[in-house]
Amino acid sequence: MLHHHTGSLVDDLIELGDSTTLFLEALRGNRLLVTILSQEEIFLSGHWVIKRVVKLFFDTPEIPVLYCVSYLNRDSLTEEEYKCLVDDTLPIGLVFLALNNAHSIQKKNITTIQEISPDHAAFLNVRSPKIFRKKYDYWVDDREIGCICEFFNEESLGRV
């Protein structure tokens, strides 16, 4: 396992424009696993959206690295992408990387804020309620796939 100072790891993740999954897997040297807490199709702002709430972890879902909430535009997905998202337990990034050219995938409008969130701290199973929320629009070529929010802090990233 690579040892990485968690303060700089927070900075690296905040600045990252590429795949979060591949970045964390490269640091750890093994596959990032997913527990889907909820996944439902909802009608939002005139469109069908898949709302997906997950914990991403290496060792056990009780000590996740990231907690994520995604809103994926159903109409922007290919049938194969939709099937993989609904039927498989994979990180979103791996689904799209498996079915698309990596160069066609982009994160746009990336914003990160630090907030006090006891609820997100509980989801991450961390002591400090100081949580980073990284939000971005996820695109494949000219398709706006959706919006993804990643929640993490130094303690959760220390599990990498």
At 69-126, the pLDDT tens digits run 999 999 999 999 999 998 878 889 889 999 999 999 999 999 999 999 999 999 999 9
113-135 burial code (b ≥16 CB/10 A, e <16): eeeebeebbebbbbeeeebbbbb
| Least confident stretch, 3-12, 96-105, 134-143 | 3-12
Q: How far apart are CA 3 and CA 19, in angstroms?
A: 20
Please give the backbone phi and psi of residue 63, each rounded to the nearest 5 degrees, phi first.
Answer: -130, 75
The architecture (CATH level 2) of 6-157 comes to 3-Layer(aba) Sandwich (3.40)
Q: How far apart are CA 49 and CA 145, in angstroms?
A: 10
Give, to the nearest 10 degrees, the angle between helix 20-28 and helix 92-99.
Answer: 100
Tally of CB atoms within 10 A around 153: 21
Share of the chain above pLDDT 70, in %: 96
Per-residue model confidence (pLDDT) at position 42: 96
